[in-house]
Structure 1
Amino acid sequence: MAKIALRVYNREIESLIEGGQLDEAIAHCQHILKSFPMHVETYRLLGKSHLEARRYTDAADIFLRVLQAVPDDFVAHVGMSIIRDNENSLDDAIWHMERAFEVQPSNPAIQGELRRLYGRRDGVEPPKIRLSRDALANMYAQGELFNQAIAEIRSVLAEDANRADLQVMLARAHFRAGQKVEAAEMAIQLLKKYPNCMDAMRILLDVLPGTTRSEDTQVYRPRLLVLDPYAAFVTGSVFQSEQVADAAVSLERLEYRPVSASAPAKSDWAASLGVKLDDGSKKEKPPAWLTPPAESAPAPAPVSSPTPAPDREPASAAPSGEGIPPWLREAGWQEPGGEAKEGPLDLSDESKAAEPLAPAEIPDWLQSMAPPEVTGAAAVEPAAPPADAGGLPDWLDEMKPETPAAPAPKPEKPRPAPLDESAPAGPTGPSKP
């Protein structure tokens, strides 16, 4: 593999991210972190790659590690705001975007995003983002108005003492203002909480030489070089590591080969970082019911059975004409003739003609309720005699109960004449005396 400068390599990865080649960018970042496992710039690029790939969990893990080293990192705060907004954590999204706005208050994209987040929270987008005291302090520091910057930062820290980004800004302001004692005290406090804070270690590496605690630089220098390898080649202040030539730090370039999704490459770079990336390519152990049998167990029979020999008939074939009972024959079941016939069976018997229903004798109580015209017709046409029952089988005739003798008909009571609409109206009941 060919040698390439670390900074040049990082710029190429940045171009890959802008071109949408995210998998290749991630692969190159992983390769760099094998040689420089805590390089902050590579961490930042790795977080951007995961963010562009919408792997928000992995991106958040990387960005939070970057903020441990650079509490006021612009890219990390913007990325965390996007991630928290995607997670519907609006307050956290606004908080991180406000930190990014304090670093670059004149950035129009950051202003527009902050207005959008405020509009989601308040219901109305503000027409303009007001300059906060934090942003004003940063502008004072960039304009080398360190005393004004220190005063603004202290006023904000009095309300929120846990702002690590403002503590780093205050330590830098003290250092650039020549107040080395205050700068060293603030740096020591930061390292107790953030042991990888780069600016705190830079301040101590510049302040401690020549003092009684100069031996402590042997502790902070290796830790800083892991985060910023170019700091080993500075001739003056470690804050000037950006002035070191790009070729001072180099490594072998990865020959990237795309890996198919079905067989992803597995590396141990995540273990060295303490990052657990889960993009769905990790295969879990199958359950017991899916586990194939051991080799010692006999193999299961194939699904398709071999063709039987010609001299062997299937066991399911029944003797012709012996296995069908008579009642199934009467229902239309036929012996197998080699051709299947589809369609409904015709169970009708055309040889039997439909017999008319025999009229039954009307009971007396039902005749008493019939109208006179029906009663007269019934008297004129007597009921036909029942059909001959001689066709019943003997065993069924024996089970027939004996018919009791019909009782003598009772004399019919006189009934009132039906109402006639043409008759004159009169009282229906007996007249009163």
Structure 2
Amino acid sequence: MARIAVRVYNNEINDLIDHGQIDEAIAHCRHILQTYSKHVETYRMLGKAYLEEQRYGDAADILQRVLSSIPEDFISQVGMSIIREDEGNMDAAIYHMERAFETQPSNHAIQDELRRLYGRRDGLEPNKIRLTRGALARMYAHGNLHDQAIAELLAALSEDPQRHDLLVLLANMYYHSMKKVEAAETCTKILEKLPYCLVATSLLVKILEESNREEEAKPFRERWEELDPYAAQIDSNTHDTEFVPDQAVTLIRLDWEPGAYGEEKGQPAWASSLGISIGGEDRSAEAVPDWLSDTGADQPEPSESPFGGSEEGEAPDWMATPSGSNEQPEDDLGLFPSEGEEEVKP
């Protein structure tokens, strides 16, 4: 049986989604997760596949888990905006689209979509989308203007301390400015709320290992490797996963049988305007395998904490969040909390 690099496999899955072969893409995602059960990029592809098939309940659950690991993820923010608008929650839809805009402020499609959402909520579309502090900070960061980015981030966080996406960027800026104490403190703060945040975990590993504190770094390294198996292949010559060769992590490719999961679906025009392919009827009631059945498809009401636990079923240990709590999770047992960040001051 043929083996395939995990990165190459994820790229193939993305191509399948873009060409409307959603059922095959979902099958391959599930196959990868049987081996690498916490691989964030595969969850991201799975959420995108559910979104494009308009299985919004499943998509919301997965995309929110991705956002708890990668709070700034562009695709997940756009996807959650689409889902919340479909639910009629315009404040949450705008909140997520604003986060997507901050990630790509020069994206004209996102600007147009954000104006449309404002118009639908307020009755009048603004002529121009103003840059937020978060967007400005990211522009500084892309230009390697670390001190300016830090100043904007601190100002934004003084207004909204719960912006985990900005905290992640702040930790990065501190690290690249050689302010490792501040970076470590920021990572620790993030991990208290989002214990499987990918960037915070990887930065903390680097800081501890660079300080010859390998034993303290060990549990964080193990978690990093769960989120990204390529992290296990880092050595003295490859200081980050991006430098690890694709073939360093492989698995047996699923021999998928066409037609076993239904037909390919068409694509609405509004999705194309955002560069997203959506297809298929709602199949949220379709049975899912045991490893995915307890992710908590029911979403809490807007008044509940965005990190609250699911009311349906009992989550497996690696997804567990404190039961009966309206606070953001502070344990380190779960990969992703069952709800995302859209209700944090939408």
Match for residue 259 of structure 1? 260
Any idea what SS the aligned residue of 1:208 has?
helix
**1:204 Cα offset (Å):** 1.1
CA distance in structure 2 between the partners assigned to 1:212 and 1:244 by the alignment: 22
Any idea what SS the aligned residue of 2:124 has?
coil
**1:232 Cα offset (Å):** 1.4
**1:259 Cα offset (Å):** 2.7
Whether the 8 Å CA contact 2:119–2:125 is kept in 1: the answer is: yes
Whether the 8 Å CA contact 1:206–1:237 is kept in 2: the answer is: no
1:269 equivalent to 2:270? Answer: no
Match for residue 48 of structure 1? 48
Match for residue 109 of structure 2? 109
Structure-2 change in CA distance of 1:236 and 1:131 (3 Å)? farther
**1:226 Cα offset (Å):** 0.7
Structure (1 or 2) with the greater helix fraction: 2
Aligned length: 274
Whether the 8 Å CA contact 2:4–2:253 is kept in 1: the answer is: yes
Instruction: Report percent identity of matched pairs.
Output: 54
CA distance in structure 2 between the partners assigned to 1:266 and 1:111 by the alignment: 36
Match for residue 218 of structure 1? 218
Any idea what SS the aligned residue of 1:45 has?
helix
1:147 equivalent to 2:147? Answer: yes
1:171 equivalent to 2:163? Answer: no
Whether the 8 Å CA contact 1:259–1:265 is kept in 2: the answer is: no
**1:244 Cα offset (Å):** 1.4
Give the counterpart letter for 2:289 in structure 1. Answer: S
TM-score with structure 1 length normalisation?
0.61
Structure-2 change in CA distance of 1:237 and 1:70 (3 Å)? farther
CA distance in structure 2 between the partners assigned to 1:112 and 1:233 by the alignment: 42
Whether the 8 Å CA contact 2:171–2:186 is kept in 1: the answer is: yes
**1:234 Cα offset (Å):** 2.1
Any idea what SS the aligned residue of 1:209 has?
helix
Match for residue 118 of structure 2? 118
**1:15 Cα offset (Å):** 1.0
- 1:46-98 CA-partner distances (Å, limit 9, x unpaired): 00100011110100000110011111111111111110011000000000111
Larger displacement relative to structure 2 (185-194 or 124-133): 124-133
Give the counterpart letter for 2:167 in structure 1. Answer: Q
Whether the 8 Å CA contact 1:206–1:238 is kept in 2: the answer is: no
CA distance in structure 1 between the partners assigned to 2:213 and 2:59 by the alignment: 39
Any idea what SS the aligned residue of 1:218 has?
helix
Structure-2 change in CA distance of 1:109 and 1:214 (3 Å)? same
Whether the 8 Å CA contact 1:205–1:238 is kept in 2: the answer is: no
**1:239 Cα offset (Å):** 6.6
- 1:146-171 CA-partner distances (Å, limit 9, x unpaired): 11111101111111111111111111
Match for residue 198 of structure 1? 198
CA distance in structure 1 between the partners assigned to 2:210 and 2:2 by the alignment: 43
**1:276 Cα offset (Å):** 4.8
Give the counterpart letter for 1:155 in structure 2. Answer: A
Task: State the structure with more CA Rg.
Answer: 1
Give the root-mean-square deviation of aligned CA atoms.
Answer: 1.9
**1:11 Cα offset (Å):** 1.0
Give the counterpart letter for 1:267 in structure 2. Answer: P
Give the counterpart letter for 2:291 in structure 1. Answer: W
Give the counterpart letter for 1:51 in structure 2. Answer: L
Match for residue 70 of structure 2? 70
Match for residue 232 of structure 1? 232
- 1:14-60 CA-partner distances (Å, limit 9, x unpaired): 11111111111111100010011111111011001000111101000
Match for residue 133 of structure 2? 133
Can you give the 5+ residue segments of structure 1 that lack an aligned partner in the other structure? 279-433
Structure-2 change in CA distance of 1:37 and 1:149 (3 Å)? same
**1:240 Cα offset (Å):** 2.4
Whether the 8 Å CA contact 1:270–1:276 is kept in 2: the answer is: no
CA distance in structure 2 between the partners assigned to 1:195 and 1:161 by the alignment: 17
TM-score with structure 2 length normalisation?
0.75
Can you give the 5+ residue segments of structure 2 that lack an aligned partner in the other structure? 263-285, 299-346
